[in-house]
Amino acid sequence: MRRSCIVLFLFVLGLLGASRQDARAQSLTVADKKIRIALFAPLYLDSAFDKNEVYRYGPKQFPKFIVPGLEFYEGALLALDSLQKEGASIELIVFDNKSATTPLAAQLSSPACEHLDLMITYCSAAELKIFAAAGKERKIPVININLPNDGGVSQNSYLVLLNATLATQCQSIYNFIRTRFSKQQIVVFQKKGALELRIRSTIEETAKKRGGTPPAIKFVELTDSFTVQQLTPWLDTTKASICWIGSVDENFGKRVSQQLVWLAKQRYKLSIMGMPTWDGIKEFTKPEYRGADLFFCTPFYTPRTDSLSLSIESFFANQLYARPSDMVLRGYEATWRFSKLLLRYQKGISLHLGSREFRLFRDTDIQPVISSAQPGVIQYYENKKLFYLKWQDGFLKPAN
């Protein structure tokens, strides 16, 4: 993996150039200029090189925090190559939004960022607010590929979140549980925290709105030093329970899951539900997590059996000696899909941000989020589609 990261990093540097000038921007043009897209990725080039353009790390060292942004960028380049083969006219301007020398505001006001038609971002919540404001002012879409929250943005019909927000996640999980485990008691295990309070509030609100006769929901707050004895009073050996770990803290989720799996082996009847942050937990393949089904959902699932996914995997295997992560597919998907929408609808793209055209890898369900205080006012657009998966005896499977 280390070798592949270094190969990928050198490949990126070859495209961007080692010089840290002009807000880290580099134009990559397909055919004649027609539409202009800015891609903001956390490349951390200033962290990797000193002021003399010397690589800060050894020849066999590569910092992990740089990898996701590089793979997102590589996915965008592969999409650009596909668009080129179709004869599309696109100029892609790439920025390092983690530049230590050029602030984000300076990048957005630079000449390279003039006359844009679209922005694609992989950023923090604080940065999202800046991007969203710039998109609204310029009347161009801003596509975010990573955040599960709106960053405090409101009344902005140009912002599209490809990740589902925490509220959408909780609503979807509750409805999934009510459908899949309709007669089981629901036990929500949580730690103390502001996000956990939001999760509980959303679950309770969703239960009220759904109506009918919901199963009883028990909320259990665990201390940091909880033991298995604090879990058993809420479970039963004769009645099945669905145990929802209502926290985005991965370490907390792993600890509770391991204890619950042990209890399942002691004849307690239970299944386990987690949050979308479980998408990256590889420890669930280990023996200590085998013995109970561990469910979670994600908006970014793909089985990688389609020809395009296989082609991308082949490129990475042959050229970069690695397997592409989900960030590669996200970069490809966002760049290709919204470029196609832009080419088709031009200035009218803002009216088609929820279009299901040009589907790649997975289904999406991009819907406008309407203000509760001002009916008819769009807060932003959000992908509401979530895929349910489960770890079963060390294997990841669709939860059909």
- pTM (two decimals): 0.89
Six token digits for residue 84: 């080129």
Kindly tell me the number of DSSP H helices and DSSP E strands found in the chain.
10, 15
Distance from C-alpha of 188 to C-alpha of 201, rounded to nearest angstrom: 12
Residue 372 Cα distances to 125, 172, 240, 379, angstroms: 22, 19, 37, 9
Contact 191, 252 (CB under 8 A): yes
Domains of the chain: 2-164+303-364 (3.40.50.2300), 166-298+388-398 (3.40.50.2300)
- Taking residue 333's Cβ as centre, other Cβ atoms within 10 Å add up to 24
Tens-of-pLDDT digits for all 400 residues of the chain?
Answer: 444 555 555 455 545 544 344 334 555 555 555 899 999 999 987 776 666 666 666 666 667 888 899 999 999 999 999 999 999 999 999 999 998 889 999 999 999 999 999 999 999 999 999 999 999 999 999 999 999 999 999 999 999 999 999 999 999 999 999 999 988 999 999 999 999 999 999 999 999 988 777 678 999 999 989 999 999 999 998 999 999 999 999 999 999 999 999 999 999 999 999 999 999 898 999 999 999 999 999 999 988 999 999 999 999 999 878 889 999 999 999 999 999 999 999 999 999 999 999 999 999 999 999 988 888 899 999 999 999 999 999 999 999 7
Distance from C-alpha of 210 to C-alpha of 226, rounded to nearest angstrom: 33
- Reported as type and span, the H/E element at residue 144 is strand 142-144
Residue 370 Cα distances to 55, 157, 161, 273, 379, angstroms: 48, 10, 14, 29, 6
